[in-house]
Structure 1
Amino acid sequence: MKLIECPRDAMQGLHDFIPTALKAEYINLLLQVGFDTIDFGSFVSPKAIPQLRDTAEVLAQLDLSTTKSKLLAIVANLRGVEAAVQHQQITYLGFPFSISETFQQRNTNSSIAQSLNTVEEMLNLCDKHRKTAVVYLSMGFGNPYGDEWNVEIIEKWADELINKGVKILSLADTTGVSTPEKIETILPALLKKFDQTEIGIHLHSTPFTRLEKIEAAYKTGCTRFDSALKGFGGCPMAADDLTGNMATEDLIYYLQSKGEDLGLNMDKWQEAMLLSSKVFN
């Protein structure tokens, strides 16, 4: 069972700048909890995401000496990839590959075809610098733009990316439109067809539908979950103000209720929960 805690996704849309030292203090606490991966920052244009303009400075303040957690940084273009691979502390580079042409243009200022080329170049640079790429199939459960969406389109792009050499795919629900029914239809098909690929899920949700979505993913055999403490963050384009990330505490509660041994330091988790009120105001 791999849990990916996503403070980067939680912070990125906030208007008021979180001081670098406070970001680092919070992420250092999360590093002590025992998650598989911390999605901690992004190497994107400061104009696009000003909140994360200090990712390199935050990284310099992180203590990785006593943690088993690995670091993941998001990139949106080749320039970001080239910056991220220079940091040996980073294990994973995440790239949002939208199966909606409209959203790919909005999110990365490039077409799907151009993004496929970026993924190829990212894979080459990851190999050269001993990093691993994580590609998110964003708008994986539908989109608000009227772009065509169906299970066959998801499988087509998954197949293309895996053939390029992608080893980890995460099916991303960008605007919270996933349902247990969609999860139970899409995930088993991907897990069966691409059984040599690590396939995870990055769900957005309102507080009222979190547990049913977690349960649907778990029952399909999913073992890789993205989430963020208290469900902070989410996509700014989501139609519902309550739509945010999957709340990590709900995920922990559900998985523990199923007898999963997560190996987490719950004392450090409680400390992080307390500090979050200062981070997220």
Structure 2
Amino acid sequence: MNFKNGNFDLFNPLILVVMTILFLIIAMPMWYFYQELPSPNLDLYLYIGLGLLFFIFGVFLSNYILSKKYKIDANSNIKKVLNPEKLSLSDSYSRNELILVGLVLLGILLQVINIVLLGGIPLFSATLKAKAATKIWLISYIIFLPSINLLLARYNRKSHYILLLIGLVLFALTGYRTTPIAIMLSALITLYYTRDVDLKYIILAILAIAVVLLAVGFIAVQAISWQHWSLNPVELVSYRAAFTLNVLSKAIEN
């Protein structure tokens, strides 16, 4: 099954509406069942609801403008722009591909240097994690993320997935969930729009993102020696979601 052969776009902007509602549902157990956190003010739901309504209106308005003014059907089949030809390891590398590979390797090297300078793996040490977000880490991430996506989008060579995996592991070792999740999600979106990706691979990728989210978050929390958590990895996700929304609720109140 290929979603792109039909009129369904897996990364349609309206998916954000579903994800927002899902985020709320995930947070609710910590408010109303476990009662680990205080339940938010009703204004939170009002503001989120209004935000979603304006967002939906903006999506449909954009589609209307595209169809009427620019004659672009937003619901038409998605066409791959790049559609890169499959390349084997023995096929020659173009200059642009070598530049992108070099940038990816530079990002990986900088991240290795960052971990070495820290003197350990931040994922397993809260003290090191607090120091992991260095300028070297930031530069390596800024270089790696766009470079690996451009490389995957433009050149269909299996060896590039090894570079993706190495970078993913290295950034996961810093103990931050956002960076590896962004790498995995951006790579999934890139491949979705430049390859004929089967449904099973999309599901596996989404499951992998969920596993990384749970694993990195849980291990990092357990490494904080001055905190004692009784929550399991799944409950911890609910706690994080509820805590984030509570912060938003407080911001609304103020």
Normalization by structure 1: what TM-score? 0.26
Normalization by structure 2: what TM-score? 0.28
Greater share of residues in strand: 1
Structure with higher RCO (Cα < 8 A, 6+ apart) = 2
Greater share of residues in helix: 2
Greater Rg by CA: 2
